[in-house]
Amino acid sequence: GPTLRALAARADVRIGTAVNMDALASDTPYREHVAREFNTVTAENVMKWEATEPQRGAHDWAAADQLVDFARANRQLVRGHTLVWHNQNPSWVTEGDFSSAELRQILKKHIQDEVRHFKGRIWHWDVANEIFTDDGQWRNTIWLEKLGPGYVADALRWAHQADPKARLYLNDYNVEGINAKSTAYYNLIKQLRSEGVPVHGFGIQGHLGVQYGFPGQVLENLQRFDALGVETAFTEVDVRMPMPADATKLQAQAFAYSALLQACLLARKCVSYTVWGFTDKYSWVPDWFEGEGAANLLDENYGPKPAHAAVSSTLTLA
């Protein structure tokens, strides 16, 4: 059948995947699928700070450059992931004994070095990742503690200076429906826009599990960002399940993949739908959730699961 990217192009939405750079280098079918099926890519790990500046002042862009070159060769846009986060920071940052003023300069330099390095080649930057807790409070991180909540506006302004054309996103999980956390983003983004801070989009990760049911009011959530004039994107969709998989779980998974995509197609300003990996051969899920897995569109042998057919037919009908 037609590729997902061909169907998505007709439906006027972008379809993407996170890319595991070890798999891209070593696994030919993996590489062929990424090139053929998707028209945007996100680095699963190699653009994170621990990867790009493992020692202070010693940048390693090699793996990230490879992905950006691959994307260009395959006419794909790149979602840059991620500049400010509480995970996967280099130990020289988290274990260093810096004053607030020093840490602010270190963060600014990191953001501007990275955004400048890729200037003109990144479509969206996930500037700040996972800044709120599920109850809609500021997450207690080194950035909040040392710099205060203004670090988010600062990060957005610094990124915008370094690449004025990149679209700047805040990104999080458990924000698919209307809830305390997604409302905290709605309020923050509204506030930032009223202050003229460059923020263009809200990234909704979309890490779901069939055992939790499907979140309520997903379309209504996207529509309130539409009304603010802010883009949205599903950025890390996967739908895990308690193992072993069975037909009912796979059907619930297919429903969830398709329902998120439908919401994106129905909202005015939802620009892309990215899956966090596309084959069960490579997935963060079994490492993080004991006894769970099978979260992706294809099985471990690249065979299509019901979720693949569901995504494909949702795009076909659009």
Total residues belonging to the chain: 318
By CB under 6 A, residue 205 contacts ligand G3I: yes
Residue 238 in the binding site for ligand G3I (CB under 6 A):
no
Segment holding 241, helix H or strand E: strand 231-242
Binder among 40, 147, 284, 293 for ligand G3I (CB under 6 A): 284
Taking CB under 6 A as the rule, does residue 87 contact ligand G3I? yes
Binding of ligand G3I at residue 133 (CB under 6 A)? no
Q: Does 141 bind ligand G3I (CB under 6 A)?
A: no
The residue within the footprint of ligand G3I, chosen from 89, 236, 280, 297 (CB under 6 A), is 236
Which of 44, 114, 231, 280 is in the footprint of ligand G3I by CB under 6 A? Answer: 44
Per 3-state DSSP, the chain is made up of helix, strand and coil in percentages (nearest 5) of: 45, 20, 35
Backbone angles phi, psi at 151, to 5 degrees: -60, -30
Cβ closest to ligand G3I, residue 11 vs residue 210: 210
* C-alpha distances out from residue 35 to 179, 187, 220, 298, 317, Å: 36, 38, 33, 15, 23
The phi and psi torsions of 135 (rounded to 5 degrees) equal -90, 15
Instruction: Give the active site residue among 37, 53, 130, 231.
Output: 130
Residue 171 CB, shortest distance to ligand G3I, in Å, is: 7
Question: How far is Cα 110 from Cα 209, in angstroms, rounded to an integer?
Answer: 34
CA angle 297, 300, 306 (to 5 degrees): 30
Closer residue to ligand G3I, CB minimum distance, 88 or 248: 88
User: Applying CB under 6 A, does 187 fall inside the site for ligand G3I?
Assistant: no
Q: Does 130 participate in catalysis according to the annotation?
A: yes
Out of 3, 9, 27, 45, which residue is the one contacting ligand G3I (CB under 6 A)? 45
| Residue 6 C-beta: closest distance to ligand G3I, Å | 27
Least gap, CB of 149 to ligand G3I (angstroms)? 20
Q: Which residues of this chain interact with ligand G3I, rule CB under 6 A?
A: 44-45, 87-88, 129, 173, 205, 236, 284
Which residues are identified as catalytic?
A: 130, 236
